[in-house]
Amino acid sequence: MTTTEPLDVQPTPLALLLLGREADPRSERGVDCPGDLPAASDPDLVERARAAKAKLGEKVFILGHHYQRDEVIEFADVTGDSFKLARDAAVRPEAEYIVFCGVHFMAESADILTSEAQAVILPDLAAGCSMADMATAEQVAECWDVLTDAGIADVTVPVSYMNSSADIKAFTGRHGGTICTSSNAKRALEWAFGEGEKVLFLPDQHLGRNTAVRDMGFSLDDCVIYNPHKPGGGVTVDQLRAAKMILWRGHCSVHGRFSLDSVEDVRARIPGVNVLVHPECKHEVVSAADQVGSTEYIVKALDAASTGSAWAIGTELNLVRRLAKAHPDKQIVFLDKTVCFCSTMNRIDLPHLVWTLESLADGNVVNRIQVDKDTEHYAKLALEQMLALP
């Protein structure tokens, strides 16, 4: 039975065009790709990518995040969520080049976790993450001063989502914290509450709140929002002292657009539908869903689902479309028709991949992502703490 709704939403060319125009050193985005890219209309792109990859052989290892386009995923040696890819980055020490088809913070983490001899490459430097940009090193240092002045820094453990810059990961390592991803946030918080009395959760307020309240039994009143754009974070010292979870005011612009209405609407349209969403969605959406999990969790849940079952998925559209194609025996729909692709994930396309692979095959290392030594040292402490979580 094939009851899959057509998932034919197209990316917005305008959004893709605007990103990458202006250089902003404080942002992961907005850096033009320096390459002389092949035309997107070149009919030989697939052949060229195959030939360059074959020429590179064991020297290259291509990682693909689940949100990448089909045309890119086709060339990935491994696919996964942020956690799996962070681990997988380190499993091919013989590969000289790690081509990371994902976004900037993922490539930085791969650079931190791989050897000096390996070069991590991001095929388009403008593939950043708007959520990661919502916490800068200066803002976080200021926040720590606020917590220090409130007398609570000593009992606060930073837990930073993988979707953050290497600077924020280094801050986390310097202050005895851990990194987490959407697949281990509960374990990270359990560990952190064994180390201290409070958690500063950066930069995704939704993942922090959803994990604490939905998975660990905290109340919404245990959470307070720290707004980096307001003096003192926009909260009183008493509020900070009373809180268990201090949530940074950051969010994902893609997942932030799923609403409670979209959950209610799909339940009315498809009786018996299973609503499965990513934990970056708002608390009210996650509370109304049947299941919540990382992109890898979503892939596995649909692999295990029974024939004929119906699913509404609240995550990025490239992944949902691929899942719908891969499971024609199940009804798989996008939770909200108006939500778009992650435009920065979509920056990595076949022309960028061909340009990257052909450059490497010619001995030119392009778009290398390299974290400086000091940042790397402390960021690695926090990443290794995550990898060692029970």
Question: Which of 88, 316, 349, 376 forms a contact with ligand SF4 (CB under 6 A)?
Answer: 316
Is the Cβ–Cβ distance between 272 and 156 less than 8 Å?
no
Angle between the N-to-C axes of helices 373-387 and 104-113, in degrees from 0 to 180, rounded to the nearest 10: 90
Q: Which does 181 bind (CB under 5 to 8 A by kind): ligand SF4, ligand 13P, none?
A: ligand 13P
Site for ligand SF4 contains 160 (CB under 6 A): no
Site for ligand SF4 contains 262 (CB under 6 A): no
Q: Which does 353 bind (CB under 5 to 8 A by kind): ligand 13P, ligand SF4, none?
A: none
CB of 184 to ligand 13P, least distance (A): 9
CB of 241 to ligand SF4, least distance (A): 31
Site for ligand SF4 contains 185 (CB under 6 A): no
Q: Which does 81 bind (CB under 5 to 8 A by kind): ligand 13P, ligand SF4, none?
A: ligand 13P
Closest CA to 372 of 136, 28, 97, 108: 108
Distance CA 343, CA 17 (A): 10
Site for ligand 13P contains 60 (CB under 6 A): no
Which part of the chain contacts ligand SF4 (CB under 6 A), choosing from 13-21, 53-61, 92-100, 251-259? 251-259
CB of 3 to ligand 13P, least distance (A): 27
Question: Which of 227, 253, 291, 370 forms a contact with ligand SF4 (CB under 6 A)?
Answer: 253
Judged by CB under 6 A, how many residues of this single chain contact ligand 13P? 11
Site for ligand 13P contains 163 (CB under 6 A): yes
Site for ligand 13P contains 280 (CB under 6 A): yes
Site for ligand SF4 contains 266 (CB under 6 A): no
Provide the binding-site residues for ligand 13P, judged by CB under 6 A: 66, 81-83, 163, 181-182, 252, 280, 294-295
Chain residues in the site for ligand SF4 (CB under 6 A): 103, 129-131, 163, 252-254, 316, 342, 344-345
